[in-house]
Amino acid sequence: MPTQTNPHAHLPSVPSIYAARAAAAPLPRVPWQHPICQPLTNLRRGSFLPLKDGSLLCVDSQGAAISRDDGATWSETLPAAHGQKAQEPAACALQETAPGHWVMVFLDILSPRRHFGWNDQTGEPDAASCLELHAILSPDGGRTWSDRQMLLDGYNANFFGFIRTTKAPPGSAATSSTSADTATTTARRNRPSRSWATDAC
């Protein structure tokens, strides 16, 4: 019977490859950066909103501030901590309905009522789960804020966008939230009214 040879015997074995990699000096990990991008020293995490006058508004857990030089420097930070969390910048969104009039919609992540539990039978959060969606308004560029309004109670996993409409009437706003795979609710605010209406779909 002819002797069988391994045609791959000249190749390194998997253990030897891993051993060589472990013994080698780690390669430096340098992220790629486009040449037009410059590092910012006063980094803010947002949410961000371009304002009508060309400046940039940031509202985060530190408060509200405006940059007039593309984020290089920021103005005085005004108190605007209403329940948003620095580690969850996407849980807050802003709109400017008129110059100096800001509306913020946010998940109240810091609320003591926040709770999450899962119901395996229904495949959605249980009845005791709570992460409320709130809105708050500043009519004077963030110097004062109205009392918050709860748009949606129960558990809102996320809200998917916050837009300013241009019709019926101009300056109205709308946002949507989902609490389960099949449940989505939209909240609408008509300017100048400060009340919100909700639609389930």
Say yes or no to pLDDT of 95 above 60.
yes
Tell me which of 21-35, 48-62, 152-166, 167-181 is least confident: 167-181
Establish if 14 belongs to a structural domain.
Answer: no
Establish if 29 belongs to a structural domain.
Answer: no
Establish if 83 belongs to a structural domain.
Answer: yes
The rounded mean pLDDT for the chain is 75
78-93 tens-digit pLDDT? 888 777 776 776 778 8
Establish if 1 belongs to a structural domain.
Answer: no
Establish if 147 belongs to a structural domain.
Answer: yes
pTM: 0.63
Say yes or no to pLDDT of 184 above 50.
no
Establish if 15 belongs to a structural domain.
Answer: no
Tell me which of 20-34, 67-81, 185-199 is least confident: 185-199
* Distance separating alpha carbons of residues 97 and 113, to the nearest angstrom: 30
Say yes or no to pLDDT of 201 above 70.
no
Regarding predicted confidence, which is higher, 195 or 161? 161
Q: Which domain holds residue 107?
A: 41-200
Say yes or no to pLDDT of 175 above 70.
no
Establish if 25 belongs to a structural domain.
Answer: no
- How many domains are there within the chain? 1
Residues 6+ apart with CB under 8 A from 165: 171, 172, 173, 174
Establish if 85 belongs to a structural domain.
Answer: yes
Asked if residue 97 lies in contact with residue 103, where contact means CB atoms within 8 angstroms, the answer is yes
Asked if residue 139 lies in contact with residue 103, where contact means CB atoms within 8 angstroms, the answer is no
| pLDDT at 67 (0 to 100) | 92
Return the CA Rg of the chain: 25
